[in-house]
Amino acid sequence: MTTTPSPEVDAELTRQLSRAAPGEAVQGVFVLRTPPKQPYLTAAETRDQVHALLTAAQKHCGFDCEQVTIFENLQSFALQAPREMVQAVLASPQIASAMANAQPESLQIDPIRPSQGPAGERRTRGSKAAPKAPSPKRPPRKKSG
């Protein structure tokens, strides 16, 4: 007999669920498990599995989901539903992983902005050695103590 491993649930979704009041909506994104001997779930399989597990979860907890978006090419879906419904979905054996839709920090990897103006690039492009910009004069060091 094989047991289905628990889904990977990110700490933020766990935190949001613990903070939500009864009946309060939580948003999560869920990834379905890939069946053995199959590279991925097809779009039709994804749709069918999502509908089936949401129906089962609704019956189990007595709550309806508020919004669902199925990512049929990614065997995943996003859900906004009362806390109890989200918890019921997490208990489904088809769920491989889940995470909070709203993360505590930005997903964007912010670029490092140039500290100097654009002239640096212009000067250096096409030249063997870029002429060094004059270094700003430093104020004399104060003696400490």
Partner 1 sequence: MSVEATLEQFGVAEVIVSLQAVPPGGMEGLAAATEIKQRNLAHYFTTSDRATRSLLAATSNKPAPGPYRVYEHLGLVLGTVNKSGWAGLKADPQVADVEDAPQFSLIHPIRPLAAGAVTPTPGPTWGLSKLRVAELWSRGFRGQGLRIGHIDTGVDGKHPAFRQKAIGGFAEFDMIGNEVAQPKVTDSGDHGTHTAATIVGRPVNGFEFGVAPAATLYSAKVIEGGNVVARVLGGLNWCLGQQVKIISISLGLRGYTPSFLTLIQALRARGVLPVVAVGNEGVDTSRSPGNYDNVLSVGASDRQNKVATYSSSQSIKRPQDPLVPDLVGPGSDVISAQPGKGYQLLSGTSMATPHIAGLAALLWQAAPAATHADVERAILQSCQRPPSMPQGRANRGFPDALEALKFLNPSAAAKPKPSAPARKPVAAAKKKAPKPGPAKKGTVKKAAGKTTPAAAKKAKAAGKKG
Buried b (16+ CB within 10 A) or exposed e, 88-111: bbbebebbbebbbbeeeeeeeeee
Residues 48 to 87: which contact partner 1 by CB under 8 A?
A: 66-67, 69, 71-76, 78, 80
106-33-73-65 Cα dihedral, nearest 10 degrees: -70
Residue from 1, 36, 37, 112 binding partner 1 (CB under 8 A): 112
Q: Which segment (50-58, 84-92, 97-105, 135-143) binds partner 1 by CB under 8 A?
A: 97-105
Cβ at position 18, least distance to partner 1 in Å:
7
Contact 61, 85 (CB under 8 A): yes
**CB of residue 39 to partner 1, shortest distance in Å:** 4
124's CB contacts (< 8 A; 6+ apart) are 130
Would you say 82 and 28 are in contact if contact means Cβ atoms under 8 Å apart?
no
- Does the protein bind partner 1 through residue 27 (CB under 8 A)? yes
Residue selected from 14, 25, 56, 58 as contacting partner 1 according to rule CB under 8 A: 25
* Neighbouring C-beta atoms of residue 14, cutoff 10 Å: 14
Instruction: Catalog residues that contact partner 1 under the rule CB under 8 A.
Output: 8, 10, 16, 18-21, 24-27, 29, 31-34, 39-41, 66-67, 69, 71-76, 78, 80, 96-118, 120-122, 125-126
